[in-house]
Every structure is written in structure tokens, then in C-alpha cells.
Amino acid sequence: MQPHITTLPLQSAEDRTRGPRIIANSLFRELVSHGYSTSQIIELTSELLTLLTASMRSEERERRAVRTSGGAMADVRDAADAHITATTPPLSS
């Protein structure tokens, strides 16, 4: 069974910048309406940035690992192909 893939309509540059701004304004209003102080909102923002930074660093490490292991993976694929070729009987005509 094929996975269901939802495609989103293309967004203009203005839409891409407006969306996060709208979400940020909504979150800020919600935090203020629930009694969060300015310092608590700053602490929350700092924590979000810390999490984002950690995520970006992790993704970069993974990209580097894939790039550096590309040669090793190619060697494994070549060895697997050679094994399959050597152990598979030829097809009858």
C-alpha cells in the first residue's frame, strides 16, 4: 500500500514570512493572557532557540556522517552486488 502524501499549495514569499509572524503573535498573546511575565517569555524564547540550535547541530552531524560514509556505503553495496552475482545462478533462456 502506497503512503498517502499530502501536497500543499505553493506559498508566496509574503505568505512564508507572514505565517510564522502570525503564529508568534498568537503565542505571545496567549502567554501574556495566561499571566506569563516578560522574563518568563524571554526564558521560553531562549529555551526554544537552544532546542533549535541543538536540532540543527544534530542534523549537520548526520549530514557530515552520511557524506563521509558515502565511500564506505558504496563499498558495502559493491560487495553485496558482487556476492549476489557470484551466488545467483544464470537465468535460463
Q: What is the pLDDT of residues 41-76, one digit of tens each?
A: 999 999 999 999 999 999 988 888 777 665 566 666
What is residue 56's predicted lDDT score, i.e. its pLDDT? 93
13 compared with 90, residue with greater pLDDT: 13
Distance CA 23, CA 6 (A): 22
31 contacts: CB under 8 Å, gap ≥ 6: 40, 41, 44
Q: What is the mean pLDDT of the chain?
A: 81
Structural contact between residues 41 and 28, judged by C-beta atoms closer than 8 angstroms: yes
What's the pTM value of the predicted model, to 2 decimals? 0.53
Structural contact between residues 31 and 44, judged by C-beta atoms closer than 8 angstroms: yes
Structural contact between residues 41 and 31, judged by C-beta atoms closer than 8 angstroms: yes
CA 29 to chain centre: 28
What CA–CA distances, in Å, run from 60 to 2, 19, 69, 91?
Answer: 30, 26, 14, 45
